[in-house]
Amino acid sequence: MNFTKVIVVSLLSVLWSVTAFAQGGGQPVEVSANTLQAGTYNGEPIRRLLGNVVMRQGGTTVTSDSAYQYANDRNRLEVFSNVNITQETMHATSNTASYDGTKRVANMRGNVVLRDQEMTLSTPALDYDLNAKRAYYTQTGNIVGPDYTIKSQFGTYTTTDKVLSFKKNVVYKGQNAEVLSDTMAYNTVTKVVEFFGPTTIKSPDGTLYATRGTYNTVTRESNFRGNASIKTPDYLIRGDVLTYDKVQEFYTATRNVSMTAIKDSTVITGNVAKYWRSQGRAKVYGSPVMRSISAKDTMYLSADTLYSVENMVDKTKKGMLYAYPDVRIFKSDMQALCDSLTYNLNDSVIYMNRNPRLWASKNQLTADSVILRLQNNTLRQMQLFGNSFAVSQDTLENFNQIKGRNMTAHFGEGKIRRVDVNGNGESLYFALQGDTTNMGMNRAFCSDMRMLFDNGQVQFITFLTEPDAKLVPPHELKEPERRLKGFEWLSEQRPTRSVVLEPRTGKRNVADQGQPKSGTTKSTKAATPAKSTPKAKTPAVSPKKQPTRTQSPPPKTPVQQKGTGLKKFEVE
């Protein structure tokens, strides 16, 4: 390239200036420099400006060590060395730049730094639209603000509304949070982050994830959408929509909600979840289901509302779960229904209230209230208080029945092993031969008794006080005598896994539906009962006055009564 020196305007560095008018009726670009030379650049005629180059257009000023001004379009310039662009409160520097005064666009290259009152942006290359007052970069950019830094692959900054937009590998670091995102916008005035792609936010409040939403970096209020989640020290909360109020320390999740307890891997799902972190309380409703997961089995518990309370005194211990109303439970070895319950997660004790009904293997148990004790998620003991009643069905569809004031059932490997009856005990048991022949019915009244089970069937009965018992031959059996007072067979109510998991519509109430009247039955085949023999050792005791059968509320602290005057009557 050859340049011809045309004129030297100043003998003593006198400023030379020239004025050009923007094509299309735009503002003129005023150019001044120490020296002007003529030449060509990329095949186009140019004016070469040397020394203290200053270009002004309206409120914009561009300075540099040298520049090329195109002769055919004097609003186009190539600017070199120590480039500075100033517009109102914005100031940018770079090694080189291209400036189009007609389009009002500056393309800055090499060590670009843009500063305004809110932040400083540094990047290898930057394009700046002076009309829109918008800067954008396509190489890695770093932004430093008063209390934050942002790094991304692509970015845009509009100086009028103070909004920064970023895309790909976005990292925001502030005083209260670190944000990792794919696509994000940040308002330097409101301090609000808005993201439009997969985003993770790490803060003292927990780790948050979502694909869409907003986060206020000052107040730490959040509004997330799209597979949103937050992990706190106690819970992992998920939902399609997730909000967080820092002042109240209150979380709300809606649609496809799940809350996973970190301590015990208990999972609660539903449509709406509310969590008061400072109070350690959580409420889930809208078809909520709790899943207590173990290696051997999973217990499913559902109700209209599940309410969890953490142990705020000792955070190392688990808290309480309340379920109400229309509670349903399903495990492979146990199913249950009741109106409401309390579940002590730390001690694995469940308190069932109002019309509890339970099924364990081949046995149905009912009472006014029930306490279940679990161990390793397996039923270990069941205590029944008030109007306790146990029923099982043999191979001939006879109903073996036990009732009393209170009962305690003991389990081994999920199967019933022993039942202790305390107070007003009655039993009705059919003696079978070869599982096919009815040898008679044993009926006994005894205050306290004990039954031993094998494979869900009674094997031995031990009367702990003097009994009133008799064996009724098959030909003397009459239908009213085959049932104890208060007998109900509720097999139609026994919940399946699908019933426990089904959505709650408010129209179906398992607690009231399909309940037969007292004394009615629905025959179902049971497994092979315990072997019996016609030579039962049940003594033929003449009928005596039956003991008074009273109903009393369960004591606050149930105490198993120990029988006196122990006498055994075994049925083999």
Q: How confident is the model at residue 214 (pLDDT cuts 50, 70, 90)?
A: very high
| Ranges 476-485, 490-499, 560-569: which has the least confidence | 560-569
Q: What is the mean pLDDT of residues 450-475?
A: 82
Q: How confident is the model at residue 524 (pLDDT cuts 50, 70, 90)?
A: very low
Q: How confident is the model at residue 26 (pLDDT cuts 50, 70, 90)?
A: low
In this structure, the strands spanning 212-216 and 206-210 are unpaired
- pLDDT tens digits for range 346-361: 899 999 999 999 998 7
* Predicted local distance difference test score (pLDDT) of residue 454: 80
For residue 117, pLDDT over 70 is answered with: yes
Q: How many CB atoms lie within 10 A of CB 217?
A: 22
- Which of 235-239, 384-388, 395-399 holds the top average pLDDT? 384-388
Residue type, 491: S
Q: If we measure between CA atoms, which residue out of 458, 493, 500 comes closest to residue 362?
A: 458
φ, ψ of residue 520 to 5 degrees: the values are -90, 155
Q: What is the mean pLDDT of residues 4-12?
A: 33
Average pLDDT score, the chain: 81
Q: What is the mean pLDDT of residues 392-410?
A: 89
Measured CA distances, 152 to 170, 309, 478 (Å): 4, 42, 87
Strand partners, 427: 402, 444
Q: What is the mean pLDDT of residues 191-220?
A: 89
CA distance 276 to 255: 18
Q: If we measure between CA atoms, which residue out of 369, 361, 362, 366 comes closest to residue 341?
A: 369
Beta strand extents in 303-377 (DSSP E only): 305-309, 320-324, 327-331, 334-338, 340-344, 349-353, 357-360, 363-366, 369-375
Report whether 569 contacts 461 (CB < 8 A): yes
CA distance 49 to 16: 10
DSSP per residue over 400-413, as a string?
EEEEEEEEEEEEET
CA distance 172 to 151: 7
**How many angstroms separate the first and last alpha carbons of the chain?**
118
Contacts of 509 (CB under 8 A, 6+ apart): 326
- Buried (b) or exposed (e) across 342-362, using 16+ Cβ within 10 A? bbbbeebebbbbebbbbbbbb
Residue 23, helix vs strand vs coil? helix
* Predicted local distance difference test score (pLDDT) of residue 326: 95
CA distance 241 to 218: 21
Q: Where are the alpha helices (DSSP H) in 113-223?
A: none
Q: What is the mean pLDDT of residues 208-225?
A: 89
Strand partners, 44: 41
- pLDDT tens digits for range 231-260: 888 889 999 999 988 888 899 999 999 999
- pLDDT tens digits for range 271-316: 999 999 889 899 999 999 999 887 678 899 999 999 999 888 888 8
Q: Structure tokens of 189?
A: 């005035």
